[in-house]
Amino acid sequence: MNSIALEVKDLVKTFALDGTTINAVDHVSFQVKSGEFVALVGPSGSGKTTMLSILAALLSPTNGQVLIDGQDMAEMNDKRRVKLRREKIGFTFQSNNLIPFLTAQENVEFMLRLNGKADKAGRVRSAEILARLGLNDRLHSLPAQLSGGQQQRVAIARALIHNPSVVLADEPTASLDTERAFQVVETFAHLIHENNRAGIIVTHDLRMCQFVDRVLQMRDGKLVQTYEAKEEIVQLAMGTLRH
């Protein structure tokens, strides 16, 4: 049985804006197990990006707990949070994902360097994972020499190379055409399952949900719906789901 990699307990994040308090995340709780790929969906302003920022230890919650491998982020100081991000979390962003002056392989290896694990085995592993993502002939290319889809695949390799417990992806398909977007998310899903990591993808594109195991729908900061049945998820992705 897979262990719980990520646990969110009664999470609240409020912002003050022009004298009023906005509940960006409003008492949200859920768990993600190792080997599970979860989509966080919702309209713009629903709180999903705020949620992802908290999960990535980039933003502190107002209330509630986030536990990664049982470690409570709230109890950590800034240094330990940085360490947590480095060791336990893999992250891909919408854009500006890669270090522009490092080659594809160097970008992936950089996570190993950060964790003090850059060695020959790591070099072989980074080449393997990039080859697995169809980039074996682009190992020494700089990001500017890669297409948007190739860059996202390098970012995925970087997010997984150091065996993090949780892999987070923020709209990784936002700048890709449909075909590339499907390829990227499908590969991402395979790697999450293969490597037994907990994966969370934030997306506004419901079509991408066909590759995930569970869909969490947010609205106005609240978790309003969870889809777990494969049939439901496929219907949601196809746009044919009826409530």
Partner 1 sequence: MGPNIRWTGRTKMKNIFLAFYLALKEVIRNRGRFFLVSLVIALITLLVLFIAALGEGLANGNRQYVANLDAQLIVFLEKSDYIISSSRLETNTLRSVRRVDGVADAGPIYTSSTEIVSLAEPLKVSMLAAEAGRPGMPAVIEGNYFRSSTARETVIDRNVALRSGLKVGDEITIRSTQGVEDEFFRLKVVGMVAGQSYFFQPTIFVPSATWEKVRPQSEADLNSSTAYPNILAVKVTDPSQADVVKARLLATVPNIEVTDIATTINNIPGYSAQQGTVQTQGFFTLLIGVLVIGGFFQIQILQKVPQIGVLKAIGSSNGVVGWAAVIQIIVVTAMGVAIGGGLTYLFSLGFPPTIPLVFNGSRSVIAIALLLTIGPLGGMVSIIYAVRIEPLKALRLG
List of residues contacting partner 1 (CB under 8 A): 49, 52-53, 56, 58-59, 79, 82-83, 85-87, 89, 91, 93, 96-102, 106, 110-111, 113-116, 142, 158, 170
Q: At its nearest, how many Å lie between partner 1 and the CB of residue 240? A: 32
Our CB check for partner 1 shows the closer of 58 and 238 to be: 58
Q: Give 3-state DSSP helix, strand, coil % of the chain, rounded to 5.
A: 40, 30, 35
Between 184 and 237, CB nearer to partner 1: 184
CB of 239 to partner 1, least distance (A): 28
Residues 6+ apart with CB under 8 A from 144: 100
Our CB check for partner 1 shows the closer of 49 and 150 to be: 49
Closer CB to partner 1, residue 83 or residue 132? 83
What is the C-alpha to C-alpha distance for residues 116 and 137, in angstroms, rounded to an integer?
Answer: 27
CB of 68 to partner 1, least distance (A): 13
DSSP class per residue in 179-239: HHHHHHHHHHHHHHHHTT-EEEEEES-GGGGGG-SEEEEEETTEEEEEE-SHHHHHHHHHT
Q: Taking each helix axis as running N to C, give the angle between helix 104-114 and helix 148-160, from 0 to 180 degrees, rounded to the nearest 10.
A: 20
Q: Which is nearer to partner 1, 98 or 223 (CB)?
A: 98
Q: How far is the CB of 116 from partner 1 (least distance, A)?
A: 6
- Report the amino acid identity of residue 2: N
